[in-house]
């Protein structure tokens, strides 16, 4: 290959990489647009958890049932916002103050103990990505978060989040969680029940082993007191 031909091949290779990246991002964007009006049947995170369960039990199934926004208790909406993202209504996908506080807390502890992710960021990860904490995954999560905020309204973001978030081993969404822990539909949750579900979200598979632990009892009371100041879309 001549020296003059080298830049030509480099440009072609670079163009191929750029086209591949655009195609890949277009795939994500296409699903974001589709799910704006069509309810997701499953998510990337749900598929990963099902694979893990079936590695132990090939016949394992997830507990999940979609319910429309109107059929989810207003108490649960306020509780989740109070516990997970109290600036959800006002921010554009990122809580910069919360991220800074999480960074400072992690630095004091010398390890990652706080995240600072918003509901929109968590939904972006759950819909499409893995839980790996790599720079590439975080960058992709941020881009998808921007699309969600631009193309969906807050009501849709919260509706999908409450229907796909994990609430225990193989338990996904508000309806399955309400049935699992209280034997009631998601539309019938009391304020205390909603607060207890909300405080489980950071580590549901850990907390489901003792949902009435002293720690969760304290957190439930704290969220109950904050719910009166939380507004849901």
Residue 111, pLDDT score:
47
Is 74's pLDDT higher than 90? yes
Is 66's pLDDT higher than 90? yes
CATH classification of 39-57+68-227 is 3.30.70.3340, yes or no?
no
Q: What is the largest CA-CA distance in the chain?
A: 75
Give CA–CA dist 93/153, Å, rounded: 11
Residue 130, pLDDT score:
83
Average pLDDT over residues 7-20: 72
Give CA–CA dist 192/197, Å, rounded: 9
Is 102's pLDDT higher than 70? no
Side-chain half-sphere CA neighbours of 45 within 13 A: 23
Residue 103, pLDDT score:
61
User: DSSP characters for 193-208?
Assistant: HHHHHHHHTTSHHHHT
pLDDT in tens, 45-63: 999 999 999 999 999 999 9
Residue 109, pLDDT score:
56
Spatial CB neighbours of 98, under 8 Å, sequence gap ≥ 6: 87, 116, 118
Residue 132, pLDDT score:
80
pLDDT in tens, 157-209: 999 999 999 999 999 999 999 999 999 999 999 999 999 999 999 999 999 99
183: left (phi over 0), alpha (psi -120 to 50) or beta: left
């Amino acid at each position: 290959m001549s020296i003059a031909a080298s830049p030509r091949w480099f440009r072609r290779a670079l163009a191929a990489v750029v086209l591949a990246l655009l195609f890949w991002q277009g795939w994500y964007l296409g699903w974001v647009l589709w799910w704006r009006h069509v309810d997701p049947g499953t998510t990337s995170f749900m598929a990963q958890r099902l694979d893990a369960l079936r590695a132990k039990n090939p016949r394992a199934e997830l507990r999940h049932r979609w319910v429309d926004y109107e059929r989810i208790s207003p108490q649960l909406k306020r509780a989740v916002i109070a516990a997970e993202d109290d600036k959800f209504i006002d921010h554009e996908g990122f809580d910069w103050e919360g991220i800074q506080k999480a960074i400072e807390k992690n630095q004091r502890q010398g390890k990652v103990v706080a995240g600072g992710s918003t509901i929109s960021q968590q939904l972006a990860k759950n819909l499409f990505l893995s839980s790996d904490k790599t720079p590439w995954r975080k960058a992709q999560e941020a881009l998808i978060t921007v699309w969600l905020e631009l193309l969906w309204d807050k009501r849709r973001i919260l509706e999908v989040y409450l229907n796909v978030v994990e609430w225990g081993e193989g338990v996904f969404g508000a309806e399955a969680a309400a049935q699992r822990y209280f034997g009631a539909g998601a539309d019938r949750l009391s304020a205390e029940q909603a607060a207890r579900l909300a405080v489980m979200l950071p580590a549901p598979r850990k907390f489901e082993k003792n949902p009435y632990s002293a720690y969760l009892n304290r957190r439930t009371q704290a969220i109950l007191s904050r719910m009166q100041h939380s507004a849901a879309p």
